[in-house]
């Protein structure tokens, strides 16, 4: 089983990539979406920033019920600076939670539901992994949104086409 400390390393690695992507969002495009069925950039980037706090949420609760959110509040973020500040806040609480967690803390089941409708019941460790996967998924969506807006995107696990093009131009100019 993966340890909380290994999750912490992965969280920090993914956070660096997510941060680079969030930094590219133009404030004047928060209402933009590529398709009527898509989220707008505000909703997508807020969700992406919120996901940074999910390891903490998972470790300190037994469930998330979309019909009874309790003290969970989804923020109203309206520009890149607010999204980045919220992302950093969420990241900090998850880093602290993972730093003090034990392997035993990852074993109990955690439930994702909406009232009586149960979407998933899994060990907390598996749900933390799912939250990381959701981060990668939504970060990729944001990359597509930015690409469609002709905004150069950063690489995730190596250089992006935009970064390689910039490097090639710099090499030929010098």
Indicate the length of the chain as a whole number. 174
Q: Which residues contact 125 (CB under 8 A, 6 or more apart)?
A: 1, 2, 7, 106, 107
Whether the CB-CB separation of 106 and 124 falls below 8 Å is answered with yes
Counting DSSP H helices and E strands in the chain, the numbers are: 6, 3
Residue positions forming the annotated binding site for a divalent metal cation: 47, 138
Residue of 61, 42, 39 lying closest to 128 (CA atoms) = 61
Annotated binding residues, written as ranges, equal 47, 138
């Amino acid at each position: 089983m993966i340890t909380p400390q290994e999750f912490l390393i992965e969280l920090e690695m993914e956070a660096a990539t997510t941060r680079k992507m969030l930094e590219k969002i133009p404030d004047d495009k928060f209402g933009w979406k590529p398709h009527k069925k898509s989220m707008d950039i505000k909703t997508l980037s807020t969700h992406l920033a919120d996901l940074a706090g999910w390891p903490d949420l998972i470790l300190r609760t037994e469930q998330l019920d979309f019909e009874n959110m309790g003290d969970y509040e989804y923020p109203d973020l309206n520009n890149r600076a607010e999204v980045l500040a919220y992302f950093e806040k969420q990241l900090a609480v998850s880093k602290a939670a993972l730093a003090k967690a034990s392997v035993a803390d990852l074993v109990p089941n955690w439930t994702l539901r909406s009232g009586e409708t149960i979407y998933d019941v899994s060990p907390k460790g598996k749900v933390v992994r799912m939250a990381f996967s959701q981060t990668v998924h939504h970060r990729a969506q944001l990359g597509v949104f930015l690409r469609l807006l002709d905004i150069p995107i950063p690489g995730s696990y190596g250089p992006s086409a935009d970064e390689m093009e910039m490097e090639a131009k710099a090499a030929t100019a010098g």
